[in-house]
Structure 1
Amino acid sequence: MAVTGKDLIKVMEEWAPRSLAVDKDRIGLQVGDPQAEVKGVMLALDVTEEVVDEAIEKGANWIVAHHAVIFRPLTDLRTDRPAGRLYRKILKHDLQVYVAHTNLDAAPDGVNDVLCDQLGLKERQVLLPTRSSRLQKLVVFIPKDHHEEVLRGLARAGAGWIGNYSHCTFNLDGTGTFLPEDGTQPYIGKQGELARVGEVRLETVITEEIREDVLEALFAVHPYEEPAYDLYPLDLPGAVEGIGRIGKLPQPMSLKELAHQLTKAYRISGLRMVGDGEGLVSTVAVLGGSGGRYYPEAIKGGADVYITGDLDHHTALDAAAEGLSLLDPGHHVEHLVLEKVREKLTKSTSLTGVPVFVTQVNTDPFQYIVG
């Protein structure tokens, strides 16, 4: 069976759901048909004409990008200009462009976690919380001989996570009763006869976002024609999600040492530094992309140094005045997430057989010149 764009989008949005994106962000399918077959996927930070040419050469008819190909409102589609020429080429070659931006920044194992991984940051927390998952309790009644199968099926769908513990459930033996009426095909019992069955009451926790997937998994593995289950809203805080991370270095080091480590970890030839190069730093805030306006949150979180891109002169002065060191490795370091995206897509059984490529085109417009 052919893999369609809907399959690809589902895999991406199970990892980086749209609900994680900041308000009015340009995400999702921007060009093309969600029903189009996925013959190959090209992963890129930016969609440029060179990236499109590479996708065509590789036979990839889907591009998954971090930055929107349509970012500002279009005022024309003149094909004698670069933007119009790019859109014409995308459409002419029947390419589809899907964008995961701030939702991929915020997602677990997304942009900011990848940037933290390169530095070995420990005890990391969200820098800019944007939401907390809403929790629900699922209670389902299962015949004893199917208890283990249902439990594992729910866990595979994401139910039962508490912190870093999976498969969290509570199970209680009891007796279930039911009377199959006309037109039923009961797994246990007979029409017109009251059945008493040894059952297990299984309780587990789910987030509202995965409820439909969990129920789909429940119906797929539960033997009953009509499984009995309940859902209760919980007045408990779920996992905090948001943009950026703050954590601890494996060991304190000077700001200048961290800057040198950053160039190797992020594979860059240079960066901008604000602060005392000999001063020790331990707590590090990280926000991929343009995060200058969020430096007060880094200070509030107790960071010694804030790593982000596109810092302007006045933001650097203000942050330095408040004692916060800064490292600006540029915006393009977000490209480090592309290997993680490739890993997620190639491991998905929904996309088996689909070739996934990471672009070899360097879309960083900046070069570092040493005087």
Structure 2
Amino acid sequence: MDATLADVLGVLDRLYDPTWAESWDAVGLVTGDPAQPVRRVLFAVDPMRVVVDEAIAGEFDLLVTHHPLSLKGVSSVAATTPKGRVIHDLIRSGTALHVCHTNADNANPGVSDALAAALELQDTTPLKAMPADAMDKIVVYVPVGETQAMIDALAAAGAGQIGDYDRAAWSSTGEGTFRPLDGANPAIGQVGEIERVVEDRVEMVLPRSRRRAVVEALKQTHSYEEPAFDIFEMAALPSNRGGGRIGVLREPLKLADFAALVAERLPRTEHGVRVSGDPERMIATVAVVGGAGDSEFERVRRAGVDAYVTADLRHHPATEARAYDEGPALVDVAHWASEWPWLKDAERLLTSALTAGGFTVETEVSTVCTDAWTLRL
């Protein structure tokens, strides 16, 4: 079955939720009609002229890139500029362009997971963990005969999901008391008389985004005219998503040998692999950040790792980071090379999800090197 662009974007947005992107970023669909068919998908790091030409010449219906075509707002897409010409050619050829940038950086698995896997790091955790999705806990008091129906209703509305379990709830039994006043229409008891009812206290967690739906389900299911319930906002905890990864090598290596491993596992560039540190130093724990990573030096140092692999390291931040005796050795690679391994991951995950949905799509990863540096002397 052929997929539409909307079908493909639905999978990509589940893998790389746009809400995970940084506030300054520009992710999502750049060109393309959600109703158009997608039979061929090309993955690349940069939407540069050479890559767009590759996509058009190969008759790909969709180009998925990591970097945005226009990160900053523009007032014109006239074909008088290189980027304007790219947009015109994409639209004219019917080639859609979709961007997964920092939402892919923060995903799990994401860009840094692919980099860590290429370097054979194990037991990885986020370097800069994002908070988990905001959660609530709802507490409702219900006559014991209605407890299971209430749990079912709240679960159907989105409460009670914990990991691989659903309908998770806790209850305890006690006595509720109330006195209906004039104008009340009590399901139990009489106006003006004190009533005592054996009730269960039911507790369930829920995503905060489902709060309205869960409360509505509670009110519709409860037999009382005025059900008693509480909502508690739960403390934010770190998630398994976020930028960068920290992991452990299968066996410690000398820094020189580890750098050679990095050079072997990542695509070759004229930039190559630069190293700062004693070549004989033993490396066991490693932090990685796909893309530019010198803004994370302080976090990396606090993590106490032996080496830090990232791209675009500048002189002053690097020398300041090396000034700490306990600081990590630095392994600097080309920006493009540090993010290219993610393309294979994205291709595999997209293909698997579309196949499971009954769709047939051909995919390919571009091997065109779009690193900015073309000669090293």
Q: Normalising by the residue count of structure 2, what TM-score does the alignment of the two structures yield? A: 0.73
**Matching residue of 1:16:** 16
Residue of structure 1 in register with 2:264 after alignment: 264
Distance 1:70 1:122 in 2: 36
- Cα distance 1:204–1:8, how it changes in 2: closer, same or farther (>3 A)? farther
How far apart are 1:6 and its partner, in Å? 2.5
Report Cα offsets for 1:39-88 as digits up to 9, x if no partner.
32221111122322332333322111110012244465453543232222
Are positions 1:129 and 2:129 aligned together?
Answer: yes
Superposed CA deviations along residues 226-252 of structure 1, whole A, max 9, x for unmatched, are 988x99655144442321112222222
How far apart are residue 363 of structure 1 and its match? Answer: 3.0
Alignment partners' CA distance in 1, 2:252 and 2:303: 17
Match status 1:250 vs 2:250: yes
Report the CA distance between 1:121 and its aligned residue.
2.2
Structure-2 change in CA distance of 1:279 and 1:166 (3 Å): farther
Partners of 1:132 and 1:79 lie apart in 2 by: 43
Unaligned 5+ residue runs, structure 1?
173-200, 216-225
Aligned equivalents of 1:344 and 1:123: distance in 2?
21
Deviations 1:2-55 (A, max 9, x none): 633322222112121112111111111122333333232221111122322332
CA distance in 2, matches of 1:126, 1:84: 37
1:312 aligns with 2:311: no
Find the aligned partners of 1:208 and 1:342 in 2 and give their Cα distance: 32
Return the letter of the residue paired with 1:105: D
Equivalent residue number for residue 38 of structure 1: 38
Deviates more, 1:53-62 or 1:300-309: 53-62
Which AA in structure 2 matches 1:41?
V
SS at match of 1:108: coil
Paired residue for 1:88?
88
Whole-Å Cα distance in 2 between the matches of residues 30 and 203 of structure 1?
44
SS in structure 2 at match of 1:86: helix
- 1:247–1:202: structure 2 CA closer, same or farther, 3 Å change rule? farther
Equivalent of 1:363 in 353, 359, 369: 369
Q: Is the 8 A contact 1:112 1:244 kept in 2?
A: yes
CA distance in structure 2 between the partners assigned to 1:166 and 1:308 by the alignment: 38
| Structure 2 residue identity aligned to 1:256 | A
In the alignment, the residues of structure 1 paired with residue 363 and residue 73 of structure 2 have an alpha-carbon distance, to the nearest angstrom, of: 29
Specify whether residues 44 and 235 from structure 1 end up closer, same or farther in structure 2 by C-alpha distance, changes over 3 A only. Answer: same
Q: In the aligned structure 2, how far is the partner of 1:250 from the partner of 1:84?
A: 47
Structure 1 residue 346, shift from structure 2 partner: 1.2
Equivalent in the alignment of 2:3: 3
- Report the count of equivalent residues: 338
- Equivalent position SS for 2:105: helix
Identity %: 28
Deviation of the 1:205 alpha carbon? 5.1
1:167 to 1:248, Cα distance in 2 relative to 1, 3 A: farther
- Unmatched 5+ residue regions in structure 2? 140-145, 172-200, 214-219, 223-228
1:160 to 2:162 alignment = yes
Contact 2:51–2:368 under 8 Å retained in 1: no
For residue 193 of structure 2, what is the aligned residue in structure 1? none
How many Å separate the matches in 1 of 2:98 and 2:202?
39
Matched, 1:340 2:349: no
Q: Which of 253, 276, 281 is 2:283 aligned to?
A: 281
Contact 1:255 1:277 in 2 (8 A): yes
Out of 239-248 and 361-370, give the one that drifted further. 361-370
Structure 2 match to 1:189: none
Matches within 5 A, 1:166-245: 169=168, 207-208=207-208, 235-240=234-239, 241-245=241-245
Please tell me whether the aligned partners of residues 345 and 351 of structure 1 are also in contact (alpha carbons under 8 angstroms). Answer: no
DSSP 3-state at the match of 1:348: helix
Deviation sequence 1:159-216 (CA, Å, 0-9, x none): 431xxx66684589xxxxxxxxxxxxxxxxxxxxxxxxxxxx998755446x59xx8x
For residue 331 of structure 2, the aligned residue among 327, 334, 350 is 327
In the alignment, the residues of structure 1 paired with residue 80 and residue 276 of structure 2 have an alpha-carbon distance, to the nearest angstrom, of 42
TM-score (norm 1): 0.74
Instruction: Indicate the SS of the match to 1:68.
Output: coil
